[in-house]
Structure 1
Amino acid sequence: MVADAFKQKGEEFANGSMPVVAVENGGGIREKMPNGTITRGDLMAAFPFSNTLYMKVVTPNILYAMMEQSIVEMDGQDPETGMLLQQSNSGGFLQVSGFNVVLDPDSDTVQSITLDNETTPLDRNDTSREILLVGNNYIMSGGSDYSMLSSLPKYGEAGGELETIEAYIQSVDLTQYARPQGRIQYTGGSYQPKDYEATIQVLSTEGSPFANQSVDLVVDGTQEMSVKTDENGYAKVTVSDGAHNIRLQEDNTEIYIDNYLGFGIIEDSIRGSYPVLNTMQTPADQEEPTQPEEDKPQEEQKPEEKPEQEDSQTNDGTETSTETNMALWIGILAVSVVVLIIIGVLIKKKK
């Protein structure tokens, strides 16, 4: 967006006399721009240097040399993730407008530069075609080792950097920047472009991990997806090759992931920590885990209480009722009496 603002300003001066391109060094942008209302305070925080825009006429040969200086700190490319390997964090890496560039990070060379509305790449040996370049006074005066620009005469000054960006924001539809523009491409090496998995972190309003929760995301302003955070609030997001903007559905604040630049791929001194989103949501109640059947505590088995039996058992196991027992004893008693009477009669006869 910033380089586009510079290019628009340069076109007012060129008035169709030559192609216009623009650049902005990454070190000149000190804060992220909010997604939504942008205040002058936001602009001052992002562009605190009060730079002036210089315009200079360059050739294709100089453009190639300038863009090769932009990648001088690169040290190859990871064959698995596509991440550009850097010797240090260079503030001289250029954001561009008005042309597309194809870079080979393995050889630190520019494969091609193609101007907007053209299909044939510029000839790197062309030292005659005139192109108007717009950039801040730091880069155009040779800062960050852009010595190929320092000796060129000024075509003119296009005003203040901050004022130019502010006017541009007020005049265009910024939704076009919901998706990275893809003006810088990479080739060479063994990496083959493919979908990749980036890591982001979601924090609560208190700054603690938004752990073990489902969150709804918007990718590049249009694509919706849901992810689940882990116990530390981290979540994996699978996206297509290249740069993407991500935000929560509930909020306009965006983060940036890019497998080439390593944002969301690795945490180190150059990229810092994984990108962070802050949610206003409160954690959903955790569901009670379902206890496996075999893990459920067994109820204590109480011995079955047998009802009192009115029946008793004889020694041989035969069940008899109380009435049956009484009848039996009466019968035995009667027999005994009869036996005694008979014995008495027999004794009398003997006498």
Structure 2
Amino acid sequence: MKLTTAISLLLVTSASAFAPSTPSTSSTRSTALFMAEDGEVQPLRIGTRGSPLAMAQAFETRKRLQEIFPELTEDGAIEICVMKTQGDMILDKSLMELGGKGLFTKELDVALLGDEVDICVHSMKDVPTWLPDGTILPCNLPREDTNDAFISRDGSITTIEQLPDNSVIGTASLRRQAQLMAKNPTLQCVNFRGNVQTRLRKLEDGVVDATLLAIAGLKRMGMDGCATSVLDWEEMLPAVAQGAIGIQCRSDDERSLKYIEALNHPDTKACVDCERAFLEALDGNCKTPIAGQARIVDGKIAFRGLIAMPDGSQKFETTSEGEIADAHSIGKAAGEELKAQAGDKFFEMMVEMSPQQVLGQITK
């Protein structure tokens, strides 16, 4: 699929199928309502960001709920509440400069705790390892492919190794930057933010030579044909929780818990719990490139993780395996192992580095 065709297709999709109907000051909501058991009108309100990918994930959640619970197929039984987050609104700075963690979830957390929504649908890689008091995240939907897609401008370059020296790569991810520069230190990584269609348009306009996106997001929007190639873990280890959708609710909301617990995919939940325990053990700040992935192999959980300097000059890796029931402890132990390997000086350097030293490039 050509990039121009893909961009046009996504713009049409986001303008129609994903567009809620009634605007309000804090969110945009459909008018759907249903009658609860106590006789009061009460829809199941799904909180989401408004990007095409976030909307696709919210509609996937609605579809799965309706497949299991007949009462949710009634007209107006589910309401979609769309909210803008700080991460969506500020696009001229890197996530690291803005504070990193929670930029795509904070406004949804506030809406959840304020009883404006009942559940929130998240890309799990955007969710901090801590959750606000009074909320839980008990559900992960079946995971999509976790790998990264490599997209070059004309499709003639299909691997990182084929990139000429001094090629310009658009990425907002320090994880990707570190792994790219570990392969070729001459590559120039520029901060590249915005939704998928914005990034693809910049690529086609020649702002950069190539970019990387999660193949999961492209698949969910029917745009995986844009990928020049899909990188395996040896080429580019994905982010913690990449490709996973999580659903959050208030911890005392029994009605919402009943619904979302029925959607949980145990193997995905185990892998995501393992990866998030790894990240939590490292306590990586937003300047630290961290990658971690777990998968179920022959009834066991197999984990691989790495941390690196932003310029790829240092990289520490680990692998481990164990029982699925021990997913959290496996991830935690892997994080502690890498923390010991890297040493205190490594993390002290990360804290001391300015955003300019970490990124070393201008925003494109």
Give me the TM-score of the superposition, normalised by structure 1: 0.23
**Which structure dedicates a bigger proportion of its chain to strand?**
1
Give me the TM-score of the superposition, normalised by structure 2: 0.22
The structure that has the greater radius of gyration is 1
Name the structure, 1 or 2, with higher relative contact order (CA <8 Å, separation 6+). 2
